[in-house]
């Protein structure tokens, strides 16, 4: 690594850290102003709020805005170099434009790898802290989060395998028990087995579900056979951890756990998994967007214009806004429409790769 690489990389990383800290402070200040009443009602001290919420909220903000931090940092320090004629001097000394871009690629790649690893393993751990606090202290004050289209908030109807469906009523996550349960099994579109029980509880010793006052019905060509049991141990492809409604689930799972969860739900025939799939693919596509926005930023800011840094920042903000809008639109079309989740995650990168190529071709070298 030569002196030019060290010089640009140092400016790159220092400016990036400065932008990240600055925007984090702004985000925390805005969040505090919005949630002041909830914080007061929680009765927690400032230290408890930091330990139980902001230690998870800050990494969450970093994961959301990381590509934009990189983009703004690149435009800011590169524009300053262009205004001071440093880039003109570098290119006039015989350094090619591609050689000038090398430290940007190095810095962008390092930050992309850091963001990729963090978003797969570290950020989900922080989201567990944030999600727990929000569900405990914030969501309880928001009635809209408890709107349901059924008469039971803690009721579940799940597909446990390709031919079996289970219904659970009034499940308690603390005691791991339910007030009622039924199980139906079909073959070739015909009901062949039905089970109903008054109560169900998780047996930690046998790792099975213990049913009370059970009625079993077997239906075949001979007829119907009915059996009664006071207690019955039932082996289901269903764990107590899966019987909870958690809107923050996709943020809490590391990528290997998210992939395993998607595969398990697909094997059960569960619908509405596009949100999880988009999240899975975006964790990889986001790392590529860091490198892409680095290239776009340097091609914009390396031009010396009359508007100076203000013109560069204005153009950068427009491009960043368009990138965020395209990302949101593709996500909505994947969740609500028929757009494939993989294409939805990568579509903004594909579109802005053409923008980056066009800017690179037209940049004075």
Predicted pLDDT of residue 141: 60
Cα–Cα distances (Å) from 358 to 13, 140, 316, in that order, read 26, 50, 15
Computed over every residue of the chain, the mean pLDDT equals 87
Which residues of the chain form CATH 2.30.30?
A: 156-244
The rounded Cα 155 to chain-centroid distance in angstroms is 26
pLDDT 10s digits, 207-239? 899 999 999 999 888 888 899 999 999 888 888
Long-range contacts of 36-44 (CB under 8 A, 24+ apart): 38/137, 38/138, 38/141, 39/137, 41/137, 41/141, 42/137, 44/137
Residue 174: half-sphere exposure toward Cβ, Cα within 13 Å: 0
Per-residue pLDDT band for 272 (boundaries 50, 70, 90) equals confident
Q: Which of 108, 104, 15, 24 is nearest to 63 (CA)?
A: 24
What is the rounded distance in angstroms from the CA atom of residue 56 to the CA atom of residue 34? 17
Rounded to 5 degrees, φ, ψ at 173 are: -70, -25
Domain 156-244 has CATH 2.30.30: yes
Residue 144 in this model has a pLDDT that exceeds 60? no
Predicted pLDDT of residue 308: 66
pTM over 0.85: no
156 with 167: CB under 8 angstroms?
A: yes
pLDDT 10s digits, 80-128? 898 888 998 998 888 899 999 999 999 999 999 999 999 999 999 999 9
Tell me the average pLDDT across 10-30.
Answer: 94
**Residue 36, token pair as written in the block:** 């002041």
Q: Do strands 180-187 and 224-234 pair parallel, antiparallel, or not at all (unpaired)?
A: unpaired
């Amino acid at each position: 690594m030569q002196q030019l690489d060290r010089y640009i990389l140092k400016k790159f990383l220092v400016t990036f850290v400065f932008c990240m800290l600055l925007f984090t402070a702004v985000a925390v200040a805005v969040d505090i102003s919005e949630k002041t009443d909830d914080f007061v009602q929680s009765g927690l001290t400032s230290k408890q709020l930091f330990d139980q919420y902001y230690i998870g909220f800050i990494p969450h903000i970093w994961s959301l805005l990381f590509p934009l931090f990189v983009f703004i940092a690149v435009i800011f320090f590169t524009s300053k170099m262009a205004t001071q004629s440093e880039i003109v001097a570098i290119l006039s000394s015989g350094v090619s434009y591609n050689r000038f871009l090398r430290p940007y690629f190095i810095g962008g790649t390092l930050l992309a790898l850091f963001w990729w690893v963090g978003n797969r393993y570290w950020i989900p751990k922080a989201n567990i802290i944030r999600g727990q606090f929000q569900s405990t202290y914030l969501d309880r004050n928001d009635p809209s989060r408890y709107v349901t289209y059924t008469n039971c908030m803690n009721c579940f109807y799940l597909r446990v395998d390709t031919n079996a469906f289970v219904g659970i009523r009034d499940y308690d996550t603390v005691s791991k028990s339910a007030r009622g349960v039924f199980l139906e099994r079909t073959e070739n579109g015909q009901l062949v087995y039905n089970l109903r029980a008054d109560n169900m509880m998780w047996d930690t010793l046998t790792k099975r579900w213990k049913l009370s006052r059970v009625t079993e019905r077997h239906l075949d060509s001979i007829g119907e056979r009915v059996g009664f049991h006071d207690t019955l141990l039932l082996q289901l492809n269903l764990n107590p951890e899966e019987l909870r409604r958690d809107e923050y689930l996709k943020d809490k799972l590391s990528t290997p756990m998210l992939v395993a969860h998607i595969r398990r739900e697909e094997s059960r025939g569960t619908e509405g998994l596009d949100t999880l799939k988009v999240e899975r693919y975006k964790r990889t596509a986001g790392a590529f967007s860091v490198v892409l926005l680095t290239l776009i930023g340097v091609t914009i800011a390396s031009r010396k214009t009359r508007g100076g840094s203000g013109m560069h920042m204005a153009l950068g903000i427009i491009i960043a806004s368009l990138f965020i809008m395209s990302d949101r639109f593709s996500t909505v079309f994947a969740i609500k429409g028929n757009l494939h989740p993989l294409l939805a995650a990568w579509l903004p990168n594909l579109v802005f790769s053409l923008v980056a190529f066009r800017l690179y071709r037209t940049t004075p070298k």
